[in-house]
Chain A
């Protein structure tokens, strides 16, 4: 269960989930991973450290470039039945937040 707890913790944050989603499509250098996020590099590196400590990603530095890739074994472990459900519900909450914060018309403030 320890590995699952770690995976849950690692994936409990939208930035970290986004990083893992990106890495599922293939390895990427840190610079490229950080590009979509409006946060400083130190804050972003902290997220990467959590992912690496919890074993969801691995990284290696060659020269001045650190490349990350997804740890398939750990991700597969995190793919248990309950974690799939969790991912669905967390994703749903994230979509609700995005919709309310970014898309929902302002005039609809009064409850239905």
Chain B
């Protein structure tokens, strides 16, 4: 994989048609169920599915107060096909200084009876990433190893 140092692509086949996967992504009550790994709770504040629409989610660990999670702005919304948002802007294309600058482009492709779900995520340059790392941007998320452990434990 010759990916650049600031871009990643992941892909996953889902055994359900794009309409269903899209619904899970585009409906607050469903998004809250999977967007953040359990046992951390997720609350969807804004899910305004149109270009310039806001995307805001909060997270809460161990019954404390809800903390900021994602605050972004949708760039492209093509139901059951493509969804893109960025964290460098909030609702209405308002420029902001995010704790992690990224643009995420999700695609939902019908494959047989299921969906090939992919996410391409663009970050700033590596030096900027390093800066984020020094600032401890992973706070509240734990390490990749912890994330891996959560993969098997997943939402109950």
Contacts and interface: CB of A to CB of B under 8 A. Distances in A.
Q: Check if A and B associate.
A: yes
Interface of A: 5, 8-9, 11, 14, 17-18, 20-22, 24-25, 36, 75, 78-79, 81-101, 103-104, 108-112
Chain B CB count within 10 A is highest, among A36, A89, A101, for: A89
Given A81-B130, A103-B155, 6 more contacts: A9-B1, A89-B104, A89-B119, A94-B12, A99-B34, A100-B16
Interface residues of B, number: 54
Nearest to B126: A81
A81 B80 CA distance: 31
Nearest to B104: A89
A101 B16 contact: yes
A99 B149 contact: no
Interface of B: 1, 3, 5-6, 8, 10-17, 19-27, 30, 33-35, 37, 49, 79-80, 102, 104, 117, 119, 121, 123, 126, 129-130, 132-133, 138, 141, 143-145, 147-152, 154-155
Contacts of A109: 17, 19-20, 23
B149 to A, nearest CB: 5
A70 to B, nearest CB: 9
A32 to B, nearest CB: 14
A85 B121 contact: yes
Given A94-B151, A95-B154, A98-B154, A75 B145 contact: yes
B51 to A, nearest CB: 17
Contacts of B16: 100-101, 104
Contacts of B37: 91, 95
Contacts of A82: 3, 5-6, 8, 123, 129
Given A99-B33, A99-B155, A111 B23 contact: yes
B144 A21 contact: no
Interface of A: prevailing SS: helix
A41 B33 CA distance: 33
Contact of B1 (A8, A99, A111): A8
B6 to A, nearest CB: 7
